[in-house]
Amino acid sequence: MVGMSELVQAHLDHRRIWQDFQYAYPVLSRRSKGVSLGVNLNPDKICNFDCVYCEVDRRTPGPRSDIDLDQLEREMAALLELTVNGTLFAVSPFQSARPEQRRLNDIAFSGDGEPTTAREFAGAVERIARLKRERGLDQVKLVLITDSTRLTHPDVVRGLELMMANQGEIWAKLDAGTEAYYRTVDRSKVPFQRILDNLAATARRWPITIQTLFLAWHGQGPGPEELAAYLDRLRTLLAQGSLQGVQLYTVARPTPEPEARPLAAAEMDRLAGLVRTALPDLPVEVFYGPA
């Protein structure tokens, strides 16, 4: 019988490595409610965000900077086979998965940086979608987990069109309501207004899920004014396009920034209550630990 500590460890283990693979990796994901096969298009660890809560250690160089689509396709084909035939659940940490978690939910573009910055993004989507079709895995979703900086770039839109034609979902980051808090938490040179504009343009075309990480930074969570501004951003997006829902989560794994700390479950529940009260028709999920 699998102990609770083993199950927790499985959720904590979100390393983007699998054996000697360079681009594809499996995780047991709470947000996916099963197995998610990841696609890391940023093995060099370069990102256009420098989030205070990011668990990626960018002080240690990544193993490579190129994207070999042939190798990515081989790695993903192997992981699909291992997951579908159940072999994956015989090895650590996946042997701790409960019966209802032993299912392939999605293939997620989520790596050690922003996946849409890779020139090969659309090509990678095309290859993964083909693998999925060839194996009759139509129910398996393709998910983009993105910081929203490049959602309207023509090459990215081409990749999104392929995704959305193959059971795609867009999970887009919005961590702030104000420019100042965005600069504090996400520490990006990309203007905050570009994030908002990209989200609005994308939501007008496809449903999107907003992902927000709330945390205690130097002992303080987001204040009342920041939360009010954040809720206004959600209201505006909902009025402009289609939102599938909001995923609220907090710091779950060790980060290079010791001042980035998780919020308590009670505080996360309070923040979720604010969102539900302000936008009663918008589904809200809360994740207290590893996502």
| Pairwise pLDDT comparison (72 vs 32), residue with the higher score | 72
Going through 135-195 in order, the beta strands assigned E by DSSP cover 141-146, 168-173
Tokens 């309207």 map to which residue?
Answer: 152
pLDDT in tens, 5-28: 333 343 334 445 557 899 999 998
Whether the pLDDT of residue 75 is over 90: the answer is yes
Average confidence (pLDDT) over 126-150: 97
Q: What is the pLDDT of residue 58?
A: 80
The structure tokens 């504090």 sit at: 184
Mean pLDDT confidence for 22-41: 89
Q: Distance between the two ends of the chain, CA-based, in angstroms?
A: 23
pLDDT band at 30 (very low <50, low <70, confident <90, very high): confident
| 54 pLDDT above the threshold of 60 | yes
Instruction: Give mean pLDDT, residues 221-227.
Output: 97
Ranking 73-77, 97-101, 145-149, 232-236 by mean pLDDT, the lowest is 97-101
Gap between the Cα atoms of 22 and 208, Å rounded = 29
- Cβ proximity of 281 and 239 under 8 Å: no
Q: Which ranges of 85-153 would DSSP assign to H, the alpha helix? A: 121-134
Residue 46 phi/psi, 5-degree rounding, is: -85, 135
pTM exceeds 0.85, yes or no: yes
Q: Is the pLDDT of residue 252 over 80?
A: yes
Which pLDDT value is given to residue 10? 38
Cβ count near 153 (within 10 Å):
15
Q: What is the mean pLDDT of the chain?
A: 91
CA 235 to chain centre: 22
Domain enclosing residue 104, as ranges:
4-287
pLDDT at 81 over 50: yes
Total domains in the chain come to 1
The pLDDT of residue 33 is 78
The arithmetic mean of pLDDT across residues 120-127, rounded, is: 98
- d(CA 46, CA 11) in angstroms, rounded, equals 25
pLDDT of amino acid 63: 79
Which CATH number fits the domain that encloses residue 195?
3.20.20.70
User: What pLDDT is stored for residue 256 in this prediction?
Assistant: 83
In which residue are the tokens 């990544």 written? 62
